[in-house]
Amino acid sequence: MNDSQYNLAADDILLAIEEAIEETGCDIDFEGIGGLLTLTFKNATKIIINKQAPLHEIWVATKFNGHHFHFENDQWLDKRGGDELWKFLSDAVSKQAEETIVLSAQ
């Protein structure tokens, strides 16, 4: 993957995450600025999702831990545990929102 392909894929996933959060109807505020997406929950905790262009990765920092995702076989996969990004985000958002939330690409 070259830099241009990475930037398109990373921008697409950040936008898709914003849309998925909006679709849930849950009380989660989000703000996306320049490759950084911040999710803020009712309990004042945050999840930060950001592009790491030099590494061609997406990094996700939650209240509990941080994970690095790389693009492989048309999906973003956790370099540590192998989880797919949407599954990981659904679990992380559910924990921090203290309710079950399922996120997916539209």
**What DSSP letter does each residue of 7-62 carry, written as one string?**
HHHHHHHHHHHHHHHHHH--SEEEEEETTEEEEEETTS-EEEEEEEGGGTEEEEE-
Tell me how many domains the chain contains. Answer: 1
**Structural domain for 79, as ranges:** 3-97
Give how far Cα 38 sits from Cα of 12, 51, 72, Å.
Answer: 16, 12, 24
Q: For position 25, what pLDDT does the model report?
A: 84
CB-based contact 71:56 (threshold 8 Å): yes
Domain-embedded: residue 106: no
Weakly modelled stretches of the chain, pLDDT under 70? 106
Q: For position 1, what pLDDT does the model report?
A: 87
Q: For position 14, what pLDDT does the model report?
A: 95
CATH at residue 62: 3.30.920.10
The answer for residues whose C-beta is within 8 angstroms of residue 85's C-beta and 6 or more apart is 13, 58, 60, 69, 75, 76, 77, 78
The DSSP output letter for 106 is -
Residue written as token pair 């079950």? 100
- Backbone φ and ψ for 41, nearest 5 degrees, come out as -105, 165
Domain-embedded: residue 102: no
Q: For position 77, what pLDDT does the model report?
A: 96
Domain-embedded: residue 23: yes
Domain-embedded: residue 103: no
